[in-house]
Chains A and B, each alone.
Chain A
Amino acid sequence: MVVRAARLACACALLSCAGPAPRAAEVPRVPLAGPGGQSLDARALAAGAPLTVLTFFSPDCDCLVAHEARLRALAGEYGPRGVRFFMIDSEVGGSLERDAIEAARRGYRSPILLDRGARLADALGARFAAFTVVVDSTGRVRYRGGIDDDRMHLRDDARPYLRDALDDLLGGREPRVAETEALGCALQKW
């Protein structure tokens, strides 16, 4: 009991002192689980399209809920141009069942992919729901951060970070802003 408490205290202290999470420049080769338990490799997922948008998911996050309509609009607009959109569930409470229910309830066009052990989230430095990365077909991360600069109350004049990044990348340019703040809820990863 004492040893367990000491370990927990050490873990807390280490966590408290830890610096910013590591952020891979490329999507790692980690497994993701899709509907029906289908296993997908994250890198291979990115290879299937010129650009892939990965948005981290949490079911109770109002910040993400607020942005769902904007994400759907982006998917509708950029999907025909070859951009694919996926939600990633990296939370410790995530399951295929939960993700299937949530995807259906929210009307997502793409499945929520399960990131067991939060390996993808940890590699990409994802700590908040609504954190989004744009990956090119080689697996290189081209944009990471928020969907826009709104948190929960959407404004018409919000800065559309993700849209701008997609426009730039599809136009053959580097994103005008390659990294922003994601204003979402904490992902419960452990």
Chain B
Amino acid sequence: MPSPRSTFRSAAALVLALAAWGCPSRAWAQACCAGGSAVTPARLEMHEDALVGAQLRASSALGSYDTGGRFVASPPGDTEVDFEEDIFGAMRFLRRGQAALLVPLVETRRRTPQDGAHLGGGLGDVNLSARYDFVAAGESRYLPGVALLVGATLPTGTPADSATAPLAVDATGIGAWQLQAGLALEQTYGRWLVNATGIVAKRTARFGETLGTQGTFLVAGAYSFEGGGALALSGSYAFEGDATTGSGADVPASSKRVTAVTVSGLWPLADAWRVLGALSLDPPIDSLGSNQPTAGALSFTMIRSWW
């Protein structure tokens, strides 16, 4: 039985986007340049007014956590490889705000000994987000950067319940609107940058039930090198409560959680061009997740910016 598509996938992408967008501004910007960008692939850097980018991501399923939090490796012969191509853009509005759009294309290849291999995919859930920085990182020695985050993820993908292909390989979304709000704190210490972000997401009903409220926390540290490169290490923890039926009853054992660790690096090719790479892993360790598939992923991103 194939693992269902993670309901945290779009949330994780959103966290990375929202956590990152916002520091740069003509008027207010972080003390140094690239640390925040290394934490996420889609970050406007200082002085930038707009950017567009593309991210290629490939991940391989490692197994899953059962409802008790025990990691169970994928059965022999079962494989799942997911690909994602994201196109994104961000633009500044007002002095301290910025808005972004992310359009994902998702492909899944699953193979089981019984059903063979199948490949499918399509448009994923499109995300719109905005960020407003009250104080930017590095602007004050004593007060960290403080930003308000809001977002909406549209059900533009195909949910697993509507998938028609064998092994549901054409599932590309969760089938519900998601509204997110969050708070990001960020500070620079010389060449170091520390980020802590929390986001809460509410989802609308779909197929007679409503997914539980989702919370995601991200903590990251990054180091910027002379010349503009940066390395970052981040960890995220996402959880959601039980889903509820149309009558308001809890759906037993539907809550879930997952932990992820990401190492990422940024290299600027020129002032207006940069590339990023990231390696992320949902550690296959008992109690770091429940009721969720786990994966290791590799991503590559290229960004063009304007100021």
Contact = CB atoms under 8 A, between A and B. Distances in A.
A120 interface: no
Contact of B47 (A60, A61, A183, A190): A183
A153 B29 contact: no
Interface in B212-253: 224, 226-228
Nearest to B45: A151
Given A186-B29, A188-B140, A190-B141, A12 B135 contact: yes
Contact of A62 (B140, B224, B270): B224
A135 B82 CA distance: 60
Contacts, number: 78
A186 B270 CA distance: 20
B149 to A, nearest CB: 15
A20 B27 CA distance: 8
Chain A interface, >50% SS class: loop
B9 interface: no
Using C-beta atoms within 8 Å of the partner chain, give the interface range for chain A: 20 to 34
A185 B46 contact: yes
Given A12-B143, A151-B271, A153-B271, A186 B46 contact: yes
A60 B191 CA distance: 7
B138 A186 contact: yes
Contacts of A185: 29-33, 46, 138
Contacts of B142: 190
Nearest to B224: A62
Contacts of B271: 150-153, 183
A96 interface: no
Contacts of A25: none
Given A8-B143, A12-B135, A186 B47 contact: no
B136 interface: yes
